[in-house]
Amino acid sequence: MDEVKNFEEFLKLPDKYYVTTPIYYVNDKPHIGHAYTTVLGDVLARYHREQKVPTFFLTGTDEHGQKVQHAAEKRGISPQEHSDETVLRFQELWERLGISNDYFIRTTMPAHKKVVQEILQDLYDRGEIYKDEYKGRYCVHCERFFKEKDLNGDILCPECKRPTNEITESNYFFRMSKYQGWLIDYIKTHPHFILPMFRANETLGFLNKPLGDLCISRPKSRLSWGIELPFDSDYVCYVWFDALINYISGVGYRQDDEKFRKWWPASCHLIGKDILTTHSVYWPIMLKAMGVEMPQTIFAHGWWLSGDAKMSKSLGNVVNPMDMIDRFGVDAFRYYLIAAMTPGQDASFTEDAFVNRYNSDLANDLGNLLSRVVKMTLRVGDGVIPNHGKFEQEEHDLAAALDNAIVSMHAAVMTMRLDGGIEQVLNAIRAGNRYLELTAPWTLAKKGETERLNTVLYCTAELLRIVSVLLDPVMPEKMTEIRFALGIDRNERPEFDVEKLRAFTRNNILSGRKVNDIDSLFPRFVPAMPEAPVPAPKATEKAKSQKAAEPVGLIDIEEFGKMQLLTAKVLEAEKVEGADKLLKLQLEVGDTRRQIVSGIAQFYTPEDMIGRHIVIVANLKPAKIRGIESEGMLLCAKSGKNLKLIAIDGDVPSGSSVG
């Protein structure tokens, strides 16, 4: 954020918002990298729509060029057939991920091809494109030419490090070099043009060396799968020159002037850091030569790594988005992508990190808050969200946490720091859980302090409603469910109006609504139980003889060490129907949640249990008690008919080891 000079200016809502993703090659299956940019674009588009900004979101596929031709050849089918089949993988994934693009462009569409040819003809007619003999090296993978001097005596491609081939051929060139000075000046005078700022500096570094002209043709004898040059049918257009044009052909350039005027210039081209040069050098110069206005921002995000390593097919560590969706649900996956990566920097993906975040942020913090509020309203408030009474300091503190979340989320959208905004929303959710512990609504109900109880029920419901608006673009399905649980129609679209949302103390949208008891929003994910600790070494003969002398019933330290005793916090408690001795408890144990059924119902009520810190045997084999899964046992002291829970003297986090 400190990179942004005119911060106030930057926070103003734009008149319209046009966001794009790169168009993806159809030679491959979509992976987490593709999913990330597209979800990021979707989240930004949804935030702007939620803020009532007219929005257009474009994504699509890049279907020409050598990579696609090779992939089709390998399969023994035509490139068009190959593209028609593989494009479906992208479209199906976007459908599954709830991507709200306004148009899906394919570069093999006749309308796009026509626009590319018209642009080529126009540039050729105006002398911006000329024919020349090319001698140098060529990288098939990157589809880029290099002069010997670019390679510093090496034959490896500076981009992908694969060997390049020597090549001599006649080709058409775009006069890119003559715009070098203009581009340097443009980047220096437009601080939001290439973001993050260090990517602008990287581009300026690249522009320090003389910029050559760009070879924009490929002879058909070598590559036939492309858009034919309108002025020479022996050649097709270079795939990048064709692909970049999608950003304008997708919004009506040379087809529908009104539409084009409405959406262009693009507000934000989202790209990965590996395709920076094509977007920050080729594309602006192409637009300049065409006489078309520059996009406002080109934003380059970092890479998802698998742990610390680059994801690659050969390493077998590529994350498949469909698998993640099948296992954790669409919204959890979307949440992780957006919450766990700081746009601009690389991020590491591991399943452990995913599960931890899922269990702590979504299952424990958010899901748990919703279920507490709904259950309490059903039990003590007749299922109707009440009107609030007088606000005390606790409510003002809660309002302050929410206020911070609202303002931060708004700023986060405008400054591309969505992860930071989400963190503040999570802080408000945590403040909501703390507020419930502090105000103890179950006790208020028992004491008959109805006005105070009503205030607590109202405030927590309102907090959840606001959170559902703030996180709707990230998790549209689950946030709709939260609003439905709070009695709001599923079809009612939320509005992200900063001022209206901030009026926490004056809003009265929820009181009088009947809550709906919904299934657990984010069921806790239970990772496989950790392996039992290493078995105690076999007793030696000497030890055996020593043992014989020991009193019966004693265990040694290794045996004791097999028992895993942990602290836990009771999140929810309820009676087990038809069993007057049993309580079903939902516990927080560090980052995970677990359920234990315990025979303490004659000594403790469910309300007594909520919020307590207790001790559990965590590695007891799970068992079914009255058909209900119980994962562990809680520790109590028992004397005759008296039973007391083992309590913890002081404040330690749940999941701490006891022993």
The two structure tokens encoding residue 500: 């209206």
Nearer to ligand MSP, 140 or 617 (CB): 140
Q: Which two tokens stand for residue 104?
A: 């899906």
Q: Any idea what DSSP says for residue 275?
A: G
Select 247 or 504, whichever has its Cβ closest to ligand MSP: 247
Coil, helix or strand for 128? coil
CB of 300 to ligand MSP, least distance (A): 8
DSSP assigned state of 184? H
To ligand MSP, the closest distance from the beta carbon of 391 in angstroms equals 46
Closest CB to ligand MSP among 309 and 532? 309
Cβ–Cβ < 8 Å for 47, 337: no
How is residue 643 written in tokens?
A: 């039973």
Contact in structure between 529 and 620 (CB atoms under 8 Å): no
Q: What is the contact surface with ligand MSP in residues (CB under 6 A)?
A: 22-25, 33-34, 36-37, 62, 243-244, 271-272, 274-275, 303-304, 311
Q: How far is the CB of 55 from ligand MSP (least distance, A)?
A: 20
Q: How far apart are alpha carbons 416 and 183 in whole angstroms?
A: 24
Helix axes 330-340, 32-50, angle to 10 degrees: 90
Please, which residue, 272 or 329, has the CB nearer to ligand MSP? 272
- Number of residues assigned to the chain: 659
**Which string of DSSP letters, residue by residue, matches 578-614?**
TEEEEEEEEEEETTEEEEEEES-TTT--HHHHTT-EE
CB of 270 to ligand MSP, least distance (A): 8
Using only C-alpha atoms, the chain has a radius of gyration, in whole angstroms, of 31
Q: How far is the CB of 243 from ligand MSP (least distance, A)?
A: 4
Q: Are 428 and 464 in contact (CB under 8 A)?
A: no
Q: How far is the CB of 326 from ligand MSP (least distance, A)?
A: 20
Q: How many CA atoms lie within 13 A of 530 on its CB side?
A: 10
Closer residue to ligand MSP in complex, CB, 272/487: 272
Strand partners, 589: 592
Q: Smallest distance, Å, CB 28 to ligand MSP?
A: 7
> Shortest Cβ distance from residue 307 to ligand MSP (Å)?
12
Task: Count the neighbouring beta carbons within 10 Å of the beta carbon of residue 172.
Answer: 25
Is the CB of residue 463 less than 8 Å from the CB of residue 427? Answer: no
- Of 243 and 453, the one with the shorter C-beta distance to ligand MSP is 243
H or E element: which one contains 545?
helix 541-549
Q: What is the 3-state secondary structure (H, E, C) of 492-526?
A: CCCCCCHHHHHCCCCCCCCCCCECCCCCCCCCCCC
Taking the complex as a whole, the smallest distance from the CB of residue 238 to ligand MSP amounts, in Å, to 12
Contact 25, 61 (CB under 8 A): yes
Q: Considering the complex, state which of residue 37 and residue 480 has its C-beta at the smaller distance from ligand MSP.
A: 37
Between 88 and 652, CB nearer to ligand MSP: 88
Could you give the CA distance from residue 411 to residue 398 in angstroms, rounded to a whole number? 20
CA distances (Å), 656 to each of 565, 571, 590, 598, 632, in order? 9, 16, 7, 21, 15
Q: Tokens 């993703």: give the residue.
A: 21
Q: Which among 457, 451, 441, 374 is positioned nearest to 607, based on CA atoms?
A: 441
The token duo for 527 is: 């990772």
By beta-carbon proximity to ligand MSP, the closer residue of 86 and 164 is 86
Complex with ligand MSP: residue 92 or 437, whichever CB lies closer: 92
- Shortest approach of ligand MSP to residue 347 CB, angstroms? 8
Query: What is the nearest approach in angstroms of ligand MSP to the Cβ of residue 53?
Result: 24
Q: Which is nearer to ligand MSP, 128 or 242 (CB)?
A: 242
Instruction: Name the residue nearer to ligand MSP (CB basis): 33 or 473.
Output: 33
Q: In this chain, which residue has its C-beta nearest to ligand MSP?
A: 272
Q: Does residue 452 contact residue 438 with C-beta atoms inside 8 Å?
A: no
Residue 41 Cβ vs ligand MSP, minimum distance, rounded to whole Å? 11
